[in-house]
Chain A
Amino acid sequence: MYSIKIILHYLKLYKKQYFLLGIQMTVAFALIFIIRSSEISLELRQADAESESKVSFLVEAGADTDTKMLSELINRFIEENAEFGLQCIVNGNLYIVSSDSDISSLFGPFRLALQPCGEQITITYYDSMEMMKSMGNGIAYFTNILKIIMVIVTLVAAVGFTGYVMLTLLQREHDILAAYLCGASLKKLLFITGTELIAVGTFSLALGCGLGYILTPTMSSFGASGIGLYRITPQPEAFLYAFALLIVIYAIPILAYGVRMRLYDPLVQIRKEEN
């Protein structure tokens, strides 16, 4: 297809401008993807935490702790309070005592029961929802910073895009007239130039979301705590969000471009160039 050959020709000819435009858009889309994924992940995790709001007691053994005694003391406590259905999971030097029932009232007696182990151990009261919230705060804070960056990048990209669209048209007017005189319809020429812009936009969207997909998990580190990572996972919905933003932000310049091309008058252009 000849049109494709011409589209590729101009993509190559204006590769520097298209490259810069593509980078701006890619960064904007990657940020949008990460931010949106983080926000959705935050909501999901918090909902999880709320649905199974759980209190656990964490016991961290020190280097010189008599772990045998600690285990015995914990097991005895579990037996003594059998009606609560307590369980203990051991993970290295960490002992996690939890139950499906509400055990918040047991924390005092639990500490008391472990007193024979001395100062070597640290006992913490762990509320999964509270914990999730405080870990989430770190991520939410960083997400907000990213949002500001995103707004700036997106605005710059949109302004750059509009400017670029108008510049392209100015640079192209001569070539468009030449092609028109050679028998190309204005519709086809509008299609060719429009396709270049859409190609760059689509490619950036794919690349940006791909990049966002890879980078999203790194957001977890802003919500790390002693007992684990706050999971931030890429969300497919974030792609739709980026896509919607592409349409909202770039619809205006593309529309302006279409209108400008519709108004393109070969006669005006001939008179401009012949004189």
Chain B
Amino acid sequence: MLELKNINKSYHDGSTDIHVLKDLSLKAEKGTVLSIMGRSGCGKSTLLHILGGIERIDSGSYELDGVRIDKCTPAELTKIRSQKLGFVFQSYYLIKSLNCVDNVEVPLGYAGIKSKERRERAMAALEYVGMGDYAERSITKLSGGQQQRIAIARAIAASPSLILADEPTGNLDSETAETIIHLLVKLAEQNGITLIIVTHDDKVASTAHEQYILRDGMCVHA
């Protein structure tokens, strides 16, 4: 369960204040898939960063699985990122010097999971995204769609309760985009993970259970 209540977020850029999010409220039950669309610069990424505990809010409250995220210390936020969150970004953020399975192991490693279990869970996640045969391959030799699959495997490896995807298909052709989105939605549904997708693509948005548009700093149903 995820709940944002009347959150506000402004940026001070020199002399001007940009009020990006205004009394924004949003609720998502466990296992639901949400899509958020909106014009460029309307604050979608900002919202996602807040949900991911990377960005602080000015006012309001943010609760995830019964924990007040907006009240957490940086150390607690790190723990939450490690245990509850998975990120999927347009530019993957894979570590190029590590092979596929080692990339998937990263969140498990930092969560303190022992090497044997780490490998097993990483392999299972790779199988899940259909990349089991690529475990020992170098990241740099994969296509964009394959890299995004690895990133998805990494996001689910530590069994998070919330996956945040910022334009996950932004760098992919429409056909690959569709399979990636279906993969994300499937794994959210099967594993009871809340999935929030920010996208520019109507088709991608339409696969979500609930569709929102971010306009004037607020989330409204599409």
Taking CB atoms, residues of chain A closer than 8 Å to B107 are: 182-183
Q: Which of B45, B54, B110 contacts A179 (CB 8 A)?
A: B110
Taking CB atoms, residues of chain A closer than 8 Å to B81 are: 180-183
A274→B90 contact, CB < 8 A: yes
A178→B93 contact, CB < 8 A: yes
Q: Which of A10, A182, A267, A274 contacts B106 (CB 8 A)?
A: A182
A185→B95 contact, CB < 8 A: no
B15 at the interface (CB under 8 A from A): no
Taking CB atoms, residues of chain A closer than 8 Å to B55 are: 267
Taking CB atoms, residues of chain B closer than 8 Å to A182 are: 81-82, 106-107, 110, 154
A5 at the interface (CB under 8 A from B): yes
Taking CB atoms, residues of chain A closer than 8 Å to B87 are: 181
Interface digits, A235-275 against B, CB 8 Å rule (1 contact, 0 not)? 00000000000000000000000000000001100100110
Interface digits, A78-98 against B, CB 8 Å rule (1 contact, 0 not)? 000000000000000000000
Taking CB atoms, residues of chain A closer than 8 Å to B45 are: 270, 274
By the criterion of a CB under 8 Å from any partner CB, how many residues of chain B are at the interface? 33
Taking CB atoms, residues of chain B closer than 8 Å to A5 are: 109, 115
- Is chain A's interface secondary structure helix, strand, loop, or mixed overall? helix
A184 at the interface (CB under 8 A from B): yes
CB-CB nearest in chain A for B46: A267
Taking CB atoms, residues of chain A closer than 8 Å to B70 are: none
A188→B110 contact, CB < 8 A: yes
Taking CB atoms, residues of chain A closer than 8 Å to B52 are: 181
Q: Given A9-B97, A183-B82, do A2 and B54 touch, yes or no (CB 8 Å)?
A: no
Interface digits, B68-81 against A, CB 8 Å rule (1 contact, 0 not)? 00000011001101
A96 to B15, CA, bound (A): 92
Known: A2-B110, A185-B75. 18 other contacts (CB 8 A): A5-B115, A6-B109, A174-B96, A178-B95, A178-B106, A181-B52, A182-B81, A182-B82, A183-B83, A185-B74, A188-B110, A266-B54, A267-B49, A267-B54, A267-B55, A270-B45, A270-B54, A270-B89
User: Residues of B with Cβ closer than 8 Å to A?
Assistant: 45, 49, 52, 54-55, 74-75, 78-79, 81-83, 85, 87, 89-91, 93-98, 106-107, 109-112, 115, 154, 158, 166
